[in-house]
């Protein structure tokens, strides 16, 4: 590569919503960034399209068959791109000596090992994959510290908080009274809670302000997404659970706020477009164009805020409870939610039973971990909690 000062970016989950937005931002700055490696799960054609457009040095798929099909598909177009296979491939790419930056945009706990690999290898680690931090907790943060990685939040709320804080992290503790994460309230913000049992996956995925992957769309509808973000904020900013508050802000213009010790409130605003936090993650501490539309406050008219109700969004309130529980409790919460959301998307579970499965798994599955568990123990707990939740899903049907 000698003399080439472009940032080599690994996009994990390149076929997803965040992955696609990342490729869009990268393509706006070919002088600064190179989509150096792209990974997908099993959708061969979608990763093939991304490879044809971005010409990465390497690619990876989750299984041997998909990898072989992708390599053949690319060769037929005259592209010789080595395609790796399996979960370990994500770790190898994320920690590769030629990789400078890693966009962690896999969905779910499946992304944790690659995040840890990137952290240990000291990469610029752009974290969209919030579940990895919810499961990894202190273990994840220790890997970041020991590896000397630069951890940059991509979740819009956490990017907002990060943008409101000075670069010197050692000042954060003294400066912050609390933070306010904003939430859109999702598609069911005004729906009668009594009718929520009947909602369909399509209704739950029809988010008013953002177009996102299906899992996070359901999480937004239950506000479990915000629960995961409360946990994510605890680790990213080193806050106590009571220093994290949540407000519903249906316009999604104020992306979050920092309330300082002196009661000065700093907010970051913009149109709801994930390319803004992605561009900031790529360019920090500089700024580059993102492709987002300008914010038109006059057209908007007003910004409103409301309190989230426990009767409508019971899952949200599990965040603080889980943070106060023993190490691993947040991993149990996440695993149960992943299982329940998947079952809901496959129409094996009612919308309102998502919360029941999560709460019952939390009550029935004890983590039993040390304070700073190795990643292997966290992954084992994740599996155990999944089995517990799966059994509850089956029981709900009968």
Considering only residues 135 to 174 of the shown chain, the ones binding ligand NAD according to CB under 6 A are 155
From the list 312, 193, 273, the residue with the least C-alpha distance to 25 is: 273
Structure tokens at 55: 């010409």
Q: Is 156 annotated as a binding residue?
A: yes
Judged by beta carbon, residue 360 or residue 378, the one nearer ligand NAD is 378
Instruction: Tell whether 215 is in a known binding site.
Output: no
Residue 360, interface with Mg ion (CB under 5 A)?
no
Q: Does 210 interact with ligand NAD (rule: CB under 6 A)?
A: yes
Does position 338 interact with ligand NAD (CB under 6 A)? The reply is no
String of contacts with ligand NAD for each residue 292-321, x by CB under 6 A: ------------------------------
Question: Is 256 assigned a ligand-binding role in the annotation?
Answer: no
Q: What is the 3-state secondary structure (H, E, C) of the chain?
A: CCCCCCEEEEEECCCCHHHHHHHHHHHHCCCCEEEEEEECCCCHHHHHHHHHHHCCCEEEECCHHHHHHHHHHHHHCCCCCCEEECHHHHHHHHCCCCCCEEEECCCCHHHHHHHHHHHHCCCEEEECCHHHHHHHHHHHHHHHHHHCCEEEECCHHHHHHHHCCCCCHHHHHHHEEEEEEEECCCCCCCCCHHHHHHCCHHHHHCCCCCCCCHHHHHHHHHCHHHHHHHHHHHHHHCCCHHHEEEEECCCCCEEEEEEECCCCEEEEECCCCCHHHHHHHHHCCCCCCCCCCCCCHHHHCCCCCECCCCCCCHHHHHHHHHHHCCCCHHHHHHHHHHHHHHHHHCCCCCHHHHHHHHHHHHHHCCCCCCCCCCHHHHHHHHHHHHHHHHHHHHHHHC
Point out which span in 163-171, 206-214, 320-328, 335-343 binds ligand NAD (CB under 6 A). 206-214
Strand partners, 153: 127
> Minimum distance from CB of 140 to Mg ion (Å)?
18
Q: Which is nearer to Mg ion, 155 or 382 (CB)?
A: 155
Residues 231-290 that bind ligand NAD (CB under 6 A): 274
- 46 assigned to a ligand binding site: no
The smaller minimum CB distance to ligand NAD, of residues 252 and 327, is found at: 252
Minimum CB separation from Mg ion for residue 252, in Å? 10
Which residue, 62 or 95, has its beta carbon nearer to ligand NAD?
Answer: 62
Q: Mark residues 149-178: x for contact with Mg ion by CB under 5 A, - for none.
A: ------xxx---------------------
Total of residues contacting ligand NAD (CB under 6 A): 25
Minimum Å gap between C-beta 379 and ligand NAD is 13
d(CA 160, CA 110): 26
Taking the alpha carbons of 264, 268, 270, 273 in that order, is the dihedral positive or negative? negative
Q: Which CB, 113 or 147, lies closer to ligand NAD?
A: 113
Query: Does residue 110 interact with ligand NAD by CB under 6 A?
Result: yes
Task: Quote the CA–CA distance of 338 and 274 in Å, as a whole number.
Answer: 22
The answer on whether 207 is annotated among ligand-binding residues is: yes
Nearest CB to Mg ion, comparing residues 186 and 373? 186
Minimum distance from residue 92 beta carbon to Mg ion (Å): 29
Selected from 8, 10, 15, 56, the binder of ligand NAD by CB under 6 A is: 15
Q: By CB under 5 A, tell whether 338 contacts Mg ion.
A: no
Nearer to Mg ion, 137 or 186 (CB): 186
Does position 35 interact with ligand NAD (CB under 6 A)? The reply is no
d(CA 159, CA 357): 31
- Shortest distance (Å) from residue 217 CB to ligand NAD: 8
Which residues would be at the binding site for Mg ion (CB under 5 A)?
A: 155-157
Binding residues for 1-deoxy-D-xylulose 5-phosphate, as ranges, are: 130, 156-157, 184, 207, 220, 225-226, 229
Binding site for ligand NAD (CB under 6 A): 13-19, 40-41, 62, 105-107, 110, 128-131, 155, 210, 212-213, 215-216, 274
């Amino acid at each position: 590569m000698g003399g080439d000062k472009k940032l080599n970016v690994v996009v994990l989950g390149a076929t997803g919503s965040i992955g696609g937005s990342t490729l869009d931002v990268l393509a706006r700055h070919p002088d600064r960034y190179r989509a150096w490696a792209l990974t997908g799960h099993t959708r061969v054609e979608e990763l093939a399209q991304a490879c044809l457009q971005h010409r990465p040095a390497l690619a990876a798929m989750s299984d041997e068959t998909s990898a072989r099909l992708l390599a053949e598909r690319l060769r037929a177009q005259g592209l010789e791109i080595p395609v790796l296979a399996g979960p370990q491939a994500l770790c190898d790419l994320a920690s590769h000596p030629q990789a400078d930056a890693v966009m962690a945009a896999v969905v779910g706990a499946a992304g944790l090992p690659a995040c840890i690999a990137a952290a240990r290898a000291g990469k610029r680690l752009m974290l969209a994959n919030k579940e990895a931090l919810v499961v990894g907790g202190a273990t994840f943060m220790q890997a970041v510290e020991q590896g000397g990685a630069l951890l940059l939040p991509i979740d819009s709320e956490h990017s907002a908080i990060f943008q409101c804080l000075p670069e010197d992290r050692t000042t954060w503790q003294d400066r912050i009274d609390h933070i306010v994460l904003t939430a859109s309230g999702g598609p069911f913000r005004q729906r009668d809670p009594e009718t929520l049992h009947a909602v369909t996956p399509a209704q739950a995925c029809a988010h008013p302000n953002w177009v996102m992957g299906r899992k996070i769309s359901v999480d937004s509808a239950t506000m479990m997404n915000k629960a995961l973000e409360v946990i994510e904020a605890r680790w990213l900013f080193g806050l106590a659970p009571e220093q994290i508050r949540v407000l519903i802000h249906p316009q999604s213009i104020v992306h979050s706020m920092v309330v300082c010790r002196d009661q000065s409130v700093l907010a970051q605003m913009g149109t709801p477009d994930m390319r803004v936090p992605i561009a900031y993650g790529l360019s920090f501490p500089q700024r580059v164009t993102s492709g987002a539309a300008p914010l038109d406050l006059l057209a908007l008219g007003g910004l409103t805020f409301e309190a989230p109700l426990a009767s409508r969004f019971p899952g949200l309130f599990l965040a603080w409870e889980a943070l106060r529980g023993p190490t691993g409790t947040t991993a149990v919460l996440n695993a149960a939610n992943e299982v329940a959301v998947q079952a809901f998307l496959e129409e094996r579970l009612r919308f309102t039973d998502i919360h029941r499965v999560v709460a019952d798994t939390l009550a029935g599955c004890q983590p039993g971990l040390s304070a700073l568990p190795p990643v292997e123990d966290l992954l084992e707990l994740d599996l155990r909690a999944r089995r517990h939740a799966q059994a509850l899903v089956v029981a709900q049907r009968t």
